[in-house]
Chains A and B, each alone.
Chain A
Amino acid sequence: QITLKEAGPTLVKPTQTLTLTCTFSGFSLSTSGVGVGWIRQPPGKALEWLALIYWDDDKRYSPSLKSRLTITKDTSKNQVVLTMTTMDPVDTATYYCAHVTSGSYANWGQGTLVTVSP
């Protein structure tokens, strides 16, 4: 059974850096073809893809957010970390991590709501 869970602050101030950790089980990020991605969803709005890291440490970022995002993995801990700098109220959203295989986001975490407010 594959599970993922996001962890991080629920409230951040504008200009601060957000750090989110995705802890997963049921698969290995050292297996060929496997990845972990991050997706966010502002309240009442659509899904927005953020970043993806593959088993071989290949990293992909949303072009519009690339300058603010960093994704890393710790295979031994079964964790993937996403950092987003210079947070703004428009970044208020539920942030999801997901297990990626063959291009699809096959399994999702429950999501964590991050609010950006002074």
Chain B
Amino acid sequence: QSVLTQPPSVSGAPWQRVTISCTGSSSNIGAHYDVHWYQQLPGTAPKLLIYANNNRPSGVPDRFSGSKSGTSASLAITGLQAEDEADYYCQSYDSSLSASVFGTGTRVTVL
């Protein structure tokens, strides 16, 4: 059972803005550990999308952005496109577990 909770699914029309929440606790996100986000397209390996809360690796469109506040983090996708249909996972470090932790995952559907 993951210590980082995400909504199972979110959906939006093309060009809309959607957000995905990642809720943690005082031993992970709330303890100021960085949050990272991954995109997993169908049938492929996950890919780093956002690192250290709000930074995009080279090649990731600026439609993707991350934020963090308190014990939660969020991923926003603006100008939603069909190619954004995928599963998205947050990840951080948990000091009580002394382990990396992944979120429960969110499926994004473009209507």
Contacts and interface: CB of A to CB of B under 8 A. Distances in A.
Interface of A: 37, 39, 46-49, 52, 60-63, 96, 102-111
Contact of B100 (A60, A96, A108, A109): A60
B25 to A, nearest CB: 15
Given A47-B46, A47-B89, A62 B99 contact: yes
Contacts of B104: 46
20 contacts: A37-B100, A39-B46, A39-B102, A46-B104, A47-B89, A48-B102, A49-B101, A52-B100, A60-B100, A63-B97, A63-B99, A102-B52, A103-B100, A104-B36, A104-B48, A105-B36, A105-B46, A105-B48, A105-B91, A109-B45
Given A49-B100, A60-B99, A60-B100, A102 B46 contact: no
B57 interface: yes
Closest CB pairs A-B (n = 5): A104-B36, A46-B105, A104-B51, A108-B45, A47-B102
Interface of B: 2, 33-34, 36, 38, 40, 45-48, 51-52, 57, 89, 91-93, 97-105
B108 to A, nearest CB: 15
A61 B47 CA distance: 22
Contacts of A109: 45
Contacts of B38: 47, 105
A16 to B, nearest CB: 25
A51 to B, nearest CB: 9
Contacts of A37: 100
